[in-house]
């Protein structure tokens, strides 16, 4: 058998004891055919929980072999003789600036300081449709702020005001540059007619100064000078408030030029010039006046995407045992890079730089170096040559890139830290602190790479998804269905030091880590969606990962306000947490509903309230204004349930309602286009856009309620929620009033639950069709009672429906009567991640049985079996792992994961969890009064030392409550029978191989049949005297167990070999996120134990 022959070579490679054992068992691995049969047989048989889970994993589509994939790529690239020729961008023809206009998609906008005249000019980096890189310097744009002009000011006096302000600036030490005369702080002042954003002013504009200053740093000091007051010619001393002084320069520039993130820019022929010097690595280096550039709105033709170069990187370091790699000491041994053109499936550059030799890898350009410094400098040169627009990777911002830079410093590689597009700008590592309500707080590092966008897939993952584990393995398994080999830190150094073959293995592993982020980006459409978000909200692309939610609303607000000649005030952050009342939740009528429950939802509730009632900064009224303009209640203005007043749209259309209307109609349009579109890539783009539009519309309300935000306005946000509450209550009343027997309906309808923007109605009818018809009717009926565009929609019917509590329910979701769509659960442990995986698995299965199969007995049986398996230690360990994020070390109360991380650090500092990691643990048995934190233990340590699992903890603290919650409405008080009874009377307790006592104990054999301890002559036999007659039967039973265990282990082993892409080598993977890993470990252990048992039969025959 081929497999076996190959296996023997693996034994030679690493003659350690453990590996040898693993080999022994696997050498009995049956042929693939046998496994197939076995699997089929097993599937048919009734199986234990653990088996089911494992087979689920095994039966999923096996990932394509990574090495084979690479080989395929090699064939495609067979014509390329020197891989380095693929690095540079296509040769750019020289530009005829008078005849051709230059069109490119900008991906990055930043500023450059020009010391000559002490100004800052925006720089746009981008790529043309042909793939040529462009940098465009924009001249003539200065930052500015507004201040109301004093009454009676005459425009011809402006030069005097400029002079006065410049005098004050000089006095204040704020003159732009004392050494260069004539470079005054204030460049110019223009008069314009504007209207403050806050409050209704009868639509009257007033004269404002637009004070234009030399560079962004002068905006704040100049606004302070204005606030303190200055002498205005012909008016006297004047102190003005300032507006819009807190807008970032980049956003200011983009707002004024109508450039949105990742949009296309056109420089018309004859309007731009080529720069004489080449300060950058870009192919075209041009200059343009800001008035001359054309910003294309990203619609129609201009919603396309340029052939951006996306570089994905991963590095490997050779750490020392027990220590996390430190750049000062530990070398970088490999750097894998893959470059993909946006929109293409496969990377066209694939290379890996290795320290020391490396056996060739088909399809990959391997470059080996004797000297680490040479390797680093080659990589820097590679980056400069291939000139990527976007740099991605997994945790690259926090680890790979900083490590490379630090390492280059340690090795004094002078030409390394130039990773950006500006030739003489050094890339450095800096620390950043990010804090956002939506995304949480995080300390991280940052590396500057001017002109290139960094998109760390880990950071994006953390923003977009809530997962148990964020390791690349876990994420790839979840989204790509690919498990990868996880080489433990500790053996990387060994693999590096051994041979060219082992280094090749490492290189393949490293390459895979570079491939996976690219695939994640493609699969989850991170770039496309982010680009659309940047286009919709108008912020530069990189803001999406580096900034919070607010800036997106700010950007849109300024864009619209400038079009309406509104000026935005600067509101100092008030802090505080003056809470206003939130959404309403109707007290649920708990229970199990074996009848259709219709759900009515308000579509985009908060945006539609703002639109319906014209709630905005610009429409806010106070008493004085109402009196001054003699406004009439309910004719000219509305009074909200919180007693705030807003003028009606007949007087003035609010800015926010206007923005919202645009967003929602754009979304509708995107959705329509999607329907008619056939190109899958275009559909992705459009879908990304409609999502971005939806999110943007919903974030407007939050923006007005953020007290420490840019522009809080509680009158708006509190009114919005108050309207929302009233509407829900109104809906309940209306439905219960209309659908009654008195009105000729079959039953009285009741609202059994409602939350924020939806109500659940029990119409009392028994068929889906009937419930759907009534639901639709009720939605239309209620909608007619509200102001346009508020719309109550009938969305779905739950049937059956299990209402457990507020925000906790489950039901079968139907949108058409023929077939249910899905099983929908809210707030149940199926979706939470602070428990072990057994809980969601059991809950989900039980719910499916209850709600889909309507099989209550089956569900009870299943729950009992699971509990029984748990108590007998038959549940797979991976099912019991709980994980919590280690977010800070100084918790006041002791927490299990924190304590464990500390203990693990003492055992082995290198592999111990770091701050920000999720710590996996299981609960083991401890003394009676032991705290939970004392009983938490590392799952691998538990496996290695055979520590007994505290099954009671899992039963009482993990399973009991969730199961009670879902079964109680159905079983009533009988629910406790789930947790007590015969199925809980068989238990298995492992005897630990570690601990203080273990060294002194001797295990004694017990009879395999009746469990009585064996003594004397029977001591080493299989059974006791009484059971001897049954020996053959017992032998066969145990033999079956043995075969089963070996088979299982062999299958797991083969699975891991397949995953690592080679059946010739031993499995070294310690991927904690892979369920197979724990099963393999357990499988090995079980097989070993059973083998010992089998030895005991040897004494006679």
Partner 1 sequence: MIEAVIPQASLLKKIIEAIKELVDEANFDFSETGIRLQAMDKSHIALSFLHLRSDGFSEYRCDRSQTLGINLNSFSKILKCSANDDQVQIKAADEAEALSLTFENSAKDRMSEFNLKLMDIDIDSVEVPDMDYQATVSMSAQEFARIVRDLGSIGEAVTIDATKQGVRFSATGDDGSGNILLKHQKSVDDDSTSATTVEITEPVSHSLALKYLANFAKAAPLADRVTINLIEEAPVMFEFKISDMGHIRFYLAPQIEEDND
Q: Residues 698, 872, 1064, 1070: which binds partner 1 (CB under 8 A)?
A: 872
Distance set, CA 319 to CA 395, 480, 496, 561 (Å):
18, 29, 11, 55
Cβ distance to partner 1 smaller for residue 133 or 911: 911
User: Residue 16, interface with partner 1 (CB under 8 A)?
Assistant: no
Least spacing, CB of residue 953 vs partner 1, in Å: 11
Q: Residues 815, 952, 1064, 1070: which binds partner 1 (CB under 8 A)?
A: 952
CB 187 within 8 A of CB 609: no
Size of the site for partner 1 (CB under 8 A): 40
Q: Give me 1079's structure tokens.
A: 């099963």
Least spacing, CB of residue 894 vs partner 1, in Å: 16
d(CA 666, CA 695): 13
Distance set, CA 942 to CA 868, 989, 1090 (Å):
21, 13, 19
User: Residue 791, interface with partner 1 (CB under 8 A)?
Assistant: no
Cβ distance to partner 1 smaller for residue 762 or 897: 897
Placement of tokens 């390797």 in the chain: 375
Q: Binding string, 1050-1069, against partner 1, x = CB under 8 A?
A: --------------------
User: Residue 1016, interface with partner 1 (CB under 8 A)?
Assistant: no
d(CA 881, CA 871): 16
Angle 232-233-235 (CA atoms, 0-180°, nearest 5)?
65
Q: Residues 467, 990, 1063, 1091: which binds partner 1 (CB under 8 A)?
A: 990
Least spacing, CB of residue 929 vs partner 1, in Å: 7
Least spacing, CB of residue 1014 vs partner 1, in Å: 8
CB 413 within 8 A of CB 376: yes
Q: Residues 239, 831, 991, 1039: which binds partner 1 (CB under 8 A)?
A: 991
User: Residue 890, interface with partner 1 (CB under 8 A)?
Assistant: no
Q: Residues 1006, 1029, 1095, 1099: which binds partner 1 (CB under 8 A)?
A: 1006
Least spacing, CB of residue 1012 vs partner 1, in Å: 4
Cβ distance to partner 1 smaller for residue 789 or 926: 926
User: Residue 204, interface with partner 1 (CB under 8 A)?
Assistant: no
Q: Residues 78, 98, 893, 1002: which binds partner 1 (CB under 8 A)?
A: 1002
Q: Binding string, 801-830, against partner 1, x = CB under 8 A?
A: ------------------------------
Give Rg (Cα) of the chain: 34
Placement of tokens 């993130």 in the chain: 261
Cβ distance to partner 1 smaller for residue 561 or 1005: 1005
Q: Which listed range, 409-417, 439-447, 575-583, 1006-1014, lies at the site for partner 1 (CB under 8 A)? A: 1006-1014
User: Residue 1024, interface with partner 1 (CB under 8 A)?
Assistant: yes
For 63, list phi and psi in degrees, rounded to 5: -65, 145
CB 1068 within 8 A of CB 487: yes
Distance set, CA 1000 to CA 384, 411, 423, 641, 1003 (Å):
64, 52, 69, 76, 10
Q: Residues 62, 930, 1036, 1039: which binds partner 1 (CB under 8 A)?
A: 930
Tell the burial category of 82 from Cβ atoms under 10 Å away from its Cβ (0-12, 13-18, 19+). Answer: exposed
Strand partners, 1013: 1006
Tell the burial category of 1022 from Cβ atoms under 10 Å away from its Cβ (0-12, 13-18, 19+). Answer: buried
Q: Give me 2's structure tokens.
A: 């081929």
Cβ distance to partner 1 smaller for residue 193 or 989: 989
Q: Which listed range, 40-48, 174-182, 885-893, 1007-1015, lies at the site for partner 1 (CB under 8 A)? A: 1007-1015
Q: Residues 925, 1058, 1085, 1096: which binds partner 1 (CB under 8 A)?
A: 925
Q: Which listed range, 399-407, 573-581, 621-629, 1003-1011, lies at the site for partner 1 (CB under 8 A)? A: 1003-1011
| Residue of 881, 758, 878 whose CA lies nearest to 826 | 758
Least spacing, CB of residue 313 vs partner 1, in Å: 38
d(CA 1039, CA 1094): 7
Least spacing, CB of residue 1009 vs partner 1, in Å: 10
Beta-carbon contacts of residue 957 (< 8 Å; ≥ 6 apart) = none
Q: Interaction with partner 1 in 690-709: which residues (CB under 8 A)?
A: none
Q: Residues 445, 903, 1030, 1096: which binds partner 1 (CB under 8 A)?
A: 903
Q: Residues 1000, 1016, 1100, 1101: which binds partner 1 (CB under 8 A)?
A: 1000
User: Residue 1010, interface with partner 1 (CB under 8 A)?
Assistant: yes
User: Residue 906, interface with partner 1 (CB under 8 A)?
Assistant: yes
User: Residue 1038, interface with partner 1 (CB under 8 A)?
Assistant: no
Cβ distance to partner 1 smaller for residue 546 or 945: 945
Least spacing, CB of residue 744 vs partner 1, in Å: 59
Q: Give me 524's structure tokens.
A: 């989850």
Q: Give me 819's structure tokens.
A: 């077939």
Q: Binding string, 963-982, against partner 1, x = CB under 8 A?
A: -------------------x
Q: Is 112 helix (H, G, I), strand (E, B) or coil?
A: strand
Q: Residues 926, 933, 969, 1041: which binds partner 1 (CB under 8 A)?
A: 926
* Pairing, β 186-196 against β 566-567: parallel
Q: Which listed range, 439-447, 566-574, 625-633, 1010-1018, lies at the site for partner 1 (CB under 8 A)? A: 1010-1018
User: Residue 1092, interface with partner 1 (CB under 8 A)?
Assistant: no
Beta-carbon contacts of residue 203 (< 8 Å; ≥ 6 apart) = 195, 651, 652
Q: Is 88 helix (H, G, I), strand (E, B) or coil?
A: coil
d(CA 916, CA 861): 40
Cβ distance to partner 1 smaller for residue 411 or 1014: 1014
Tell the burial category of 215 from Cβ atoms under 10 Å away from its Cβ (0-12, 13-18, 19+). Answer: buried
User: Residue 1029, interface with partner 1 (CB under 8 A)?
Assistant: no
User: Residue 139, interface with partner 1 (CB under 8 A)?
Assistant: no
CB 312 within 8 A of CB 515: yes
DSSP letter for 849, please. I
Q: Give me 76's structure tokens.
A: 């495609």
- For residue 680, the Cα-to-chain-centroid distance in whole angstroms is 24
Q: Residues 207, 221, 827, 948: which binds partner 1 (CB under 8 A)?
A: 948
Q: Which listed range, 337-345, 748-756, 837-845, 994-1002, lies at the site for partner 1 (CB under 8 A)? A: 994-1002
Least spacing, CB of residue 1016 vs partner 1, in Å: 12
Q: Give me 966's structure tokens.
A: 């879902």
CB 466 within 8 A of CB 438: no
User: Residue 996, interface with partner 1 (CB under 8 A)?
Assistant: yes
User: Residue 989, interface with partner 1 (CB under 8 A)?
Assistant: yes
Q: Residues 224, 974, 986, 1020: which binds partner 1 (CB under 8 A)?
A: 986
Placement of tokens 């993909």 in the chain: 340
Q: Is the dihedral of CA 683, 686, 687, 688 positive or negative?
A: positive
Q: Which listed range, 510-518, 843-851, 959-967, 983-991, lies at the site for partner 1 (CB under 8 A)? A: 983-991
Q: Give me 580's structure tokens.
A: 């206003």
Q: Give me 491's structure tokens.
A: 């053996």
Placement of tokens 């699997």 in the chain: 39
Cβ distance to partner 1 smaller for residue 181 or 1016: 1016
Residues that bind partner 1 (CB under 8 A): 872, 903, 906-907, 925-930, 948, 950, 952, 982, 985-992, 994-998, 1000-1006, 1010-1013, 1024, 1026
């Amino acid at each position: 058998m081929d497999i076996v022959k190959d296996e023997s070579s693996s034994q030679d490679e690493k003659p350690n004891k453990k590996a040898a054992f693993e080999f022994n068992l696997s050498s009995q691995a049956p042929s693939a055919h046998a496994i197939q049969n076995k699997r089929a047989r097993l599937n048919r048989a009734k199986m234990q929980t653990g088996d089911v889970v494992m087979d689920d994993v095994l039966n999923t589509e096996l990932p394509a072999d990574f090495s084979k994939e690479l080989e395929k790529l090699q064939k495609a690239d067979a014509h390329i003789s020197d891989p380095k020729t693929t690095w540079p961008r296509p040769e750019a023809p020289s530009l005829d600036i008078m005849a051709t206009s230059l069109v490119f998609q900008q991906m990055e906008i930043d500023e450059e300081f020009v010391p000559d005249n002490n100004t800052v000019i925006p720089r746009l980096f981008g790529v043309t449709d042909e793939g040529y890189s462009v940098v465009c310097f924009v001249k003539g744009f200065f930052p500015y702020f507004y201040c109301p002009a004093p009454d009676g000011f005459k425009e011809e006096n402006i030069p005097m005001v400029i002079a006065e302000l410049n005098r004050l600036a000089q006095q204040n030490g704020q003159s732009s540059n004392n050494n260069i005369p004539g470079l005054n702080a204030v460049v110019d002042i223009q008069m314009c007619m504007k209207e403050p954003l806050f409050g209704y002013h009868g639509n009257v504009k007033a004269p404002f100064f637009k004070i234009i200053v030399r560079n962004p740093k002068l905006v704040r000091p100049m606004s302070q000078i204005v606030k303190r007051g200055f002498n205005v010619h012909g008016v006297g001393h004047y102190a003005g408030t300032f507006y819009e002084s807190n807008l970032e320069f980049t956003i200011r520039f983009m707002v004024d030029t109508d450039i949105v993130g990742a949009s296309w820019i056109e420089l018309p022929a004859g309007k731009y010039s080529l720069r004489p010097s080449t300060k950058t690595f870009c192919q075209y280096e041009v200059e343009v006046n800001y008035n001359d550039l054309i910003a294309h709105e990203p619609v129609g033709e201009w919603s396309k995407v340029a052939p951006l170069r996306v570089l994905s990187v991963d590095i490997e370091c050779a750490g020392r045992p027990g220590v996390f790699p430190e750049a000062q000491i530990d070398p970088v041994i490999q750097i894998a890079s893959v470059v993909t053109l946006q929109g293409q499936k496969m990377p066209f550059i694939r290379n890996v730089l290795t320290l020391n030799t490396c056996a060739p890898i088909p399809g990959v350009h391997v470059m080996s170096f004797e000297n680490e410094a040479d390797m680093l400098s080659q990589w820097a040169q590679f980056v400069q040559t291939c000139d990527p627009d976007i740099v991605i990777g997994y945790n690259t911002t926090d680890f790979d890139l900083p490590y490379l830079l630090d390492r280059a410093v340690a090795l004094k590689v002078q030409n390394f830290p130039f990773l950006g597009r500006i030739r003489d700008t050094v890339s450095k590592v800096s620390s950043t602190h990010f804090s956002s309500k939506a995304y949480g707080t995080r300390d991280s590092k940052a590396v500057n790479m001017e002109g290139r966008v960094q998109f760390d897939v880990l950071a994006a993952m953390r923003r977009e998804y809530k997962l148990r584990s964020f390791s690349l393995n876990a994420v790839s398994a979840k989204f790509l269905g690919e498990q990868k080999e996880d080489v433990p830190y500790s053996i990387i150094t060994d693999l590096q030091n051994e041979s060219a073959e082992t280094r090749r293995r490492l290189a393949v592993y490293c390459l895979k880590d570079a491939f996976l982020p690219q695939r994640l980006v493609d699969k989850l459409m991170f770039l496309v969606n982010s680009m659309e978000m940047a286009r919709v909200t108008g912020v530069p692309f990189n803001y999406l990962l580096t900034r919070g939610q607010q800036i997106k609303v700010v950007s849109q607000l300024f864009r619209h306000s400038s079009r309406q000649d509104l000026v935005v005030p600067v509101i100092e952050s008030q802090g505080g947490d003056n809470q206003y009342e939130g959404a309403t939740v109707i007290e649920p009528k708990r229970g199990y509903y074996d009848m259709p429950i219709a759900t009515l939802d308000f579509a985009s509730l908060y945006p539609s309230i703002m639109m319906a009632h014209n709630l905005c900064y610009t429409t806010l009224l106070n008493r004085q204004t109402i009196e001054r303009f003699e406004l009439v209640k309910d004719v000219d203005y509305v009074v909200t349930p919180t007693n705030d007043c807003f003028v009606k749209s007949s007087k003035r259309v609010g800015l926010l309602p206007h923005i919202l209307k645009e967003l929602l109609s754009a979304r509708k349009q995107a959705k329509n286009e999607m329907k008619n579109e056939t190109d899958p890539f275009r559909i992705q783009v459009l879908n990304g856009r409609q999502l971005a539009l939806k999110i943007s519309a919903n974030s407007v309300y939050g923006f007005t309620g953020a007290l420490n935000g840019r522009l809080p306005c509680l009158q708006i946000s509190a009114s919005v929620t108050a309207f929302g509450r009233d509407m829900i209550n109104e809906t309940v009343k209306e439905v219960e009033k209309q659908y009654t027997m008195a009105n000729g309906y079959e039953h009285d309808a009741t609202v059994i639950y409602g939350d924020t923007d939806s109500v659940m109605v029990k119409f009392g009818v028994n068929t889906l069709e009937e419930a759907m018809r009534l639901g639709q009717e009720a939605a239309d009926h209620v909608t007619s009672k509200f102001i346009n565009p508020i719309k109550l929609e009938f969305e779905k019917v739950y049937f059956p429906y299990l209402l457990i509590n507020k925000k906790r329910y489950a039901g079968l979701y139907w949108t058409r009567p023929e077939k249910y769509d899905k099983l929908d659960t809210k707030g149940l442990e199926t979706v939470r991640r602070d428990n072990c995986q057994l809980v969601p698995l059991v809950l989900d299965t039980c719910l499916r049985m209850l709600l889909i199969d309507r099989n209550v007995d089956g569900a009870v049986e299943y729950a009992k079996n699971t509990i029984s398996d748990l108590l007998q230690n038959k549940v797979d360990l991976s099912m019991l792992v709980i994980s919590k994020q280690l977010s800070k070390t100084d918790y006041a109360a002791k927490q299990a994961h924190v304590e464990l991380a500390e203990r693990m650090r003492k055992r082995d500092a290198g592999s111990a969890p770091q701050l920000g990691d999720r710590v996996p643990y299981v609960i083991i048995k401890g003394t009676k009064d032991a705290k939970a934190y004392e009983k938490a233990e590392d799952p691998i340590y538990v496996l290695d030392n055979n520590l007994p699992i505290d099954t009671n903890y899992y039963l009482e603290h993990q399973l009991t409550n969730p199961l009670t919650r879902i079964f109680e409405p159905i079983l009533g008080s009988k629910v406790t029978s789930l947790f007590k009874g015969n199925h809980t009377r068989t238990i298995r307790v492992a005897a630990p191989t570690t601990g203080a006592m273990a060294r002194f104990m001797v295990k004694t054999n017990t009879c395999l049949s009746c469990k009585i301890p064996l003594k004397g002559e029977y001591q080493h036999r299989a059974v006791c005297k009484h059971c001897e007659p049954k020996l053959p039967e017992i032998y066969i039973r145990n033999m079956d167990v043995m075969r089963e265990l070996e088979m299982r282990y062999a299958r797991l082993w083969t699975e891991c070999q397949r995953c690592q892409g080679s059946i010739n080598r031993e499995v070294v993977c310690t991927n904690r996120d892979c369920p197979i890993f724990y099963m393999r470990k357990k499988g090995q252990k079980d097989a070993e134990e059973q083998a010992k048992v089998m030895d005991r039969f040897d004494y006679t025959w």
